[in-house]
Amino acid sequence: MTSQQAERSRSQAAAIAEDAVAAYLEAHPDFFKHRPDLVVGLTVPHASGRAVSLIERQVELLRAQLRAERKRLAHLIARARDFETLSARLHNLSLHLIAARDLESVQVILREVLCREFNAEAVALKLFSAELDTSDPDSMMSELSEFLDREHVLCGPLDPERKGVLFGEQSEAICSAALIPVRTAHDSGVLAIGSSDPKRFGADMGTDLLDRLGEVVSQKLRVLHEADG
């Protein structure tokens, strides 16, 4: 078959398909009543020349709004799925912490699970006795005194001094961090999660799950202290 014959065959097939569609619509005039979603994507010519009719302009605006809403909905669905995944990981971490029998085990679990399942690159749990003097410039607690009174997680970049206190030798590689308040009846402190990605922990990110993690760790430390007492 020559190229001309092939093209003629495709044209004939297209014409037959168009005729079939036309015949079907003629036989089922209420088709679009049951499939209004298809109307949105249709382009219907009109006899107004190059001018755009008011109705066509309205339809274009509605299509643009629909595309924007679909994009927004897809974003919300993706966020919801991410939240669900993180919630499941937080639940798994909580189960591991329940089984911990001492502070050392808690620290190991936090470091291993957060690095493995939450893409953390550095994890540190720093606890301070409530009796320590925060005004002492040589005290590690002095670098964190402003943070220790917070109720919610603080995210963003850290100054070199605070990074050094929290992450030690790993501090130079950390570009953003989440500082999670940890409190018991006898201690206060911070669970610090660091990343080399400066956008990993942004100041505008949601912290609900991280706040919950802080509550879980705080409660676990209370239970350990009561057991030791």
Q: Extract the tokens encoding 201.
A: 């922990």
Looking up tokens 């130079």, which residue turns up? Answer: 172
Instruction: Look at the pTM and tell me if it is higher than 0.75.
Output: no
Q: What is the pLDDT of residues 184-199, one digit of tens each?
A: 877 788 899 999 998 8
pLDDT reading at 110 higher than 90: yes
Using alpha carbons, select from 97, 99, 101 the residue that is nearest to residue 191.
97
- pLDDT > 70: percent of the chain: 75
Q: So what's the pLDDT on residue 137?
A: 46
Calculate mean pLDDT across residues 16-42: 72
Calculate mean pLDDT across residues 27-51: 64
Average pLDDT, the chain: 79
- Span of 101-110, 133-142, 215-224 with lowest mean pLDDT: 133-142
Domain boundaries, the chain: 103-228
Fold of 103-228: Beta-Lactamase (3.30.450)
pLDDT reading at 104 higher than 50: yes
Residue type, position 80, single letter: A
How many angstroms separate the CA atoms of 16 and 129, rounded? 84
- Sheet of strand 154-156, all strands in order from the earlier edge strand to the far edge: 122-129, 187-195, 176-183, 154-156
How many angstroms separate the CA atoms of 121 and 135, rounded? 31
Residue type, position 223, single letter: V
How many angstroms separate the CA atoms of 81 and 205, rounded? 16
